[in-house]
Structure 1
Amino acid sequence: MSKLDIEVFDAKSIKKTPITISDVSPNDNVLSLKRKISAKNHLSVDRLSIRLEPRGKNVADEKFVSELNLPAKNAQLYVRDLGPQIAWKTVFLLEYAGPLFVYPIFYLRPSFIYDASSKPVHQAVFLALICHSFHYAKRLYETQFVHRFSNGTMPFTNLFKNCSYYWGFAAFMSYFVNHPLYTPPMLGSLQIYAGLIGFVLCEAGNFSIHTLLRDLRPPGTKERKVPYPNSNPLTQMYNFTSCPNYTYEVGAWISFSLMTQCLPALFFTLAGFAQMKIWADGKHRNYKKEFSNYPKTRKPIIPFLC
């Protein structure tokens, strides 16, 4: 296949004068095309989405031009400006750092917030502080040292949305758990320690899945494989769900809600589950579509159910 001259139209306004990219080799990938377009329209590569149709899906950077089935003459592509972008890692670090600092404020400075005299702190309140802080410290560690991101950036506006969600819920939960009128769990120590054990096990399971996924993808690649359990018994959850990291995440917050008997914590759990169910359904569909031998016994997030 000979080299191509490709006209690149603005996906939002195809009436605009197209950019012409000359001498494109069939062995060029989409990322190299983005770089050539970036040099002409002066937008960063991260902002560009290449599509075969104006409203089509984004074509992966790894795709070769030869795989796009473009005609030898009058070849056309469409580019969309995704707007200002920010690194996924930066967003994760900021959204997780907030709760780590917001939640303890209500515990450490109750007289500033509640305008009430201090009283002995209940065991459940202290353990809630430890568990909540540990969870977000773990997330920061994973973001820095464990996760390998398949996408480099996300829209800049997501930073404010994500931070509002995590920081806001941290303050919402902490306000009620650390309130002077906080009511301890109905079943006492039994309920507290049952919730604590469940939280610790689920946090360990979540970390186990994240390390398994890290080892599955070579550094600097976007390679995808079917994940299977390894020697760690907590990874056996992969026999039942496509996204056991989400399963464990939800389990951890159910346990936290049980340990604290706090309604705002349950609200956070339900909101998180609703979002993770959407993500899990999408990943489950993609696994089945991409891998013909994908295990049929797995459900997206809840074993045996959904």
Structure 2
Amino acid sequence: MEIEILDARNSKVITKCNVQSSTTIKDLKSSVYAANKKLNVHRQSFKLEVKGKTLKDSDTIESLNLRNGSKLYVKDLGPQIGWSTVFLCEYAGPLVVYLWVYTRPWLFYGDTSSSAEISQTAHIAAACYTLHYAKRLLETIFVHRFSHATMPMRNLFKNCIYYWGFTAYVAYHVNHPLFTSPSTAQVYASLAAFLLCELGNFSIHINLRNLRPPGTSVRKIPMSDSNPLTALFNFVSCPNYTYEFGAWLSFSIMTQCLPAFLFAAAGMYQMTMWAIGKHKNYKKEFKEYPKQRKAIIPFLL
């Protein structure tokens, strides 16, 4: 049978495809690319209606109940960039920015030759920031397996502005000559919590990596393993976000710095939105999904 592929912007026909019931959206993307070389497979978003929901690559003609003469719409997602490239840029920036501000450059503080020495807390904070983003970079290279090869290029600029900008804001205050450190007990208790959350976050990322065989987009119900730090899967769908927020909350308490609290709050808001979306998708996709789980905060949210 034959179906029409239309441009979602103007409803003009891009191509007509002879398909079988087993033909997938992924197959159709290749057909569209053959008809229009500007639309590589990563720029395409297929929909049943112009403003409808994006279809999965694994959806078939049969599963979508398409018939001879049916229409599908393709939206051009614009220039794309690899997920790993975006992650490397948005994580390398904070590492460089924070460590640069940590040296108290003239551009930020003027002449600091007669200022107080950098406090022990500021040294610890710099080490924590370095650990976090170095971990992120290494995870991007060696751990993460992305279900999608690319994302819109505009996300590179948006994400970098967010991470780099907040880093400069936090670093300026923590490394300021007038920075006042909280008590030693508060600093070291928060440091311990930060390190535990970082280790927990890493443990969850390793667990999620092991769910997806290399080169596939297989999805399974994430479950805890022999690592006790993955037991948080028994309570929430996205424990990596839970640990991430815990790390930044600990960093904020350790430095007792308002910009750090604002960064933690902004991150928690965004991660909560992501977690709720993923939680809903898990429940919709897997009928046997654990009912006791929440999205990001055990027993609450």
2: CA distance between counterparts of 1:37 and 1:178?
A: 54
Q: Which runs of 4+ in 1 moved over 4 A?
A: none
- 1:136 partner amino acid: Y
- 2:135 partner amino acid: K
**Unmatched segments (≥5 aa) in structure 1:** none
Match in the other structure for 2:76 = 81
Match in the other structure for 2:198 = 203
Output aligned runs, 1:124-143, within 5 Å. 124-143=121-140
- 1:252 partner amino acid: A
For residues 179-227 of structure 1, what are the alpha-carbon distances to aligned partners after superposition, in whole Å with 9 as ceiling and x for unaligned? 0010111xx1100001100000000000000000000111111111111
Match in the other structure for 2:210 = 215
Deviation of 1:57 (Å)? 1.2
1: CA distance between counterparts of 2:44 and 2:108?
A: 46
Match in the other structure for 2:254 = 259
Q: Are the counterparts in 1 of residues 17 and 31 from structure 2 also a CA contact under 8 Å?
A: no
Match in the other structure for 1:122 = 119
- 2:288 partner amino acid: N
1: CA distance between counterparts of 2:19 and 2:227?
A: 48
Match in the other structure for 2:42 = 46
2:96 corresponds to 1:106: no
For residues 15-51 of structure 1, what are the alpha-carbon distances to aligned partners after superposition, in whole Å with 9 as ceiling and x for unaligned? x3x1332432333221121111111122211111111
Deviation of 1:6 (Å)? 1.6
1: CA distance between counterparts of 2:46 and 2:297?
A: 36
Output aligned runs, 1:91-240, within 5 Å. 91-115=86-110, 116-117=112-113, 118-185=115-182, 188-240=183-235
Once superposed, what is the RMSD of the aligned Cα atoms? 1.2
Q: Are the counterparts in 1 of residues 145 and 212 from structure 2 also a CA contact under 8 Å?
A: yes
2: CA distance between counterparts of 1:39 and 1:79?
A: 14
SS of alignment partner, residue 65 of structure 1: coil
SS of alignment partner, residue 6 of structure 1: strand
Match in the other structure for 1:70 = 66
Q: Are the counterparts in 2 of residues 110 and 178 from structure 1 also a CA contact under 8 Å?
A: no
Q: Are the counterparts in 1 of residues 3 and 67 from structure 2 also a CA contact under 8 Å?
A: no
2: CA distance between counterparts of 1:201 and 1:22?
A: 54
SS of alignment partner, residue 140 of structure 1: helix
SS of alignment partner, residue 79 of structure 1: strand
The one of 262, 275, 280 aligned to 1:280:
275
- 1:145 partner amino acid: F
Q: Are the counterparts in 2 of residues 243 and 301 from structure 1 also a CA contact under 8 Å?
A: yes
Q: Give TM-score, length-normalised by structure 2.
A: 0.96
1: CA distance between counterparts of 2:261 and 2:228?
A: 28
- 1:157 partner amino acid: R
Deviation of 1:112 (Å)? 4.3
Deviation of 1:65 (Å)? 2.4
Deviation of 1:110 (Å)? 3.7
